[in-house]
Amino acid sequence: MKNRIQLSLFLLPGLLLYVGLFVFPTLTGLFYSFTDWDGVSPSYAFVGLDNYKDSLSSIVFRKAFGNNVEFMLTVVIAQTFISLVLALLLVRNTKTKVVLRALYFLPAILSSVSVGLIWAFMYDPSIGLINYGLNEAGMSSIARNWIGDPKIAIFSIAAVQVWAHAGQMMIVFIAGLQGIPAELYEAARMDGGSKWQVFRTVTWPLLAPSATIVVAYTTIQSFKAFDLIFTMTDGGPNYATEILTTYIYHTAFGSYSFGLASAGSMIFLVLLALLTLLQFKALRADRVSY
């Protein structure tokens, strides 16, 4: 009994952090979501479900949700594909490939705010490196107003998100690839399988757990993106890159509507929890053993 008490003491630091940094703020947010608190006044009134109704009927909230889904799908598809291709190309442990892996992984350790600021500068249509490079290379027709054109701005930022995290996901795929027994490839080749057949029947099924991790992680990471969009466009132009997190930020700190922002946060939390649940189920269903 005494031993159990002693052991449970080990849980305390983590538990305190969890309660202090997650449970308490979440419950406080839930409480304020039913009020008209402006974030400054000592007083507030209870408004019932009004904030939830206002959020769900808000033109900007709906636009932000649509952008969020668009951003997430673009990042998930592009990042999973690119990281898989990189992993297949760099799976062997040669010196060059190890160096290349480190290079591709490098953006993941950079601060996302720095990444956002640098890329915003590179995307600049007047003095940015990208359009300058395209023009110099005689490819002016490809040059675009990357983050100023509402039709492509969200994809331009998604590209930066993929650039920053594809290397990280490549490492997950490489770990998965290196765990596939070599004899399975030998057997497949002896059976006369082409490269594509080997990939389809051996590599991909056994890589499924890694792919599920990559998709799950990327989905959640891209759904709750904030830093890149905040630093690159702040939701603009004309709400073209406004996502739920920037909407919540603007509502709280631009309009001093903390009650409304809290309701937005709660809806966001539920959406994120649902996504995580779906991913978790998929993760369990896709488990493959050999």
Residue 41 sits in the site that holds another protein (CB under 8 A): yes
Count the helix, strand and coil residues of the chain and give each as a percent rounded to the nearest 5. Answer: 75, 0, 25
Binding another protein (rule: CB under 8 A), the pick from 1, 45, 57, 136 is 57
Residue 29 sits in the site that holds another protein (CB under 8 A): no
Stretch of 77-85, 215-223, 251-259, 278-286 contacting another protein, by CB under 8 A: 251-259
Residue 253 sits in the site that holds another protein (CB under 8 A): yes
**Rounded distance between C-alpha atoms, residue 61 and residue 79, angstroms:** 26
**Rounded distance between C-alpha atoms, residue 283 and residue 215, angstroms:** 10
Residue 145 sits in the site that holds another protein (CB under 8 A): yes
Stretch of 172-180, 194-202, 230-238, 265-273 contacting another protein, by CB under 8 A: 230-238
**Rounded distance between C-alpha atoms, residue 126 and residue 175, angstroms:** 42
Number of residues that bind another protein (CB under 8 A): 47
Residue 252 sits in the site that holds another protein (CB under 8 A): yes
Site string for another protein, 109-128 (x = CB under 8 A): -----------xx-xxxxxx
Residue 149 sits in the site that holds another protein (CB under 8 A): yes
Four-residue CA torsion sign, 75, 78, 81, 82: negative
**Rounded distance between C-alpha atoms, residue 103 and residue 86, angstroms:** 12
Spatial neighbors of 35 by CB under 8 A, at least 6 apart, are: 44, 45, 46, 47, 51, 259
Which residues contribute to the site for another protein (CB under 8 A)?
6, 9-10, 12-13, 16-17, 20, 38-42, 54, 57-60, 120-121, 123-128, 145-150, 233-234, 236-239, 249-257
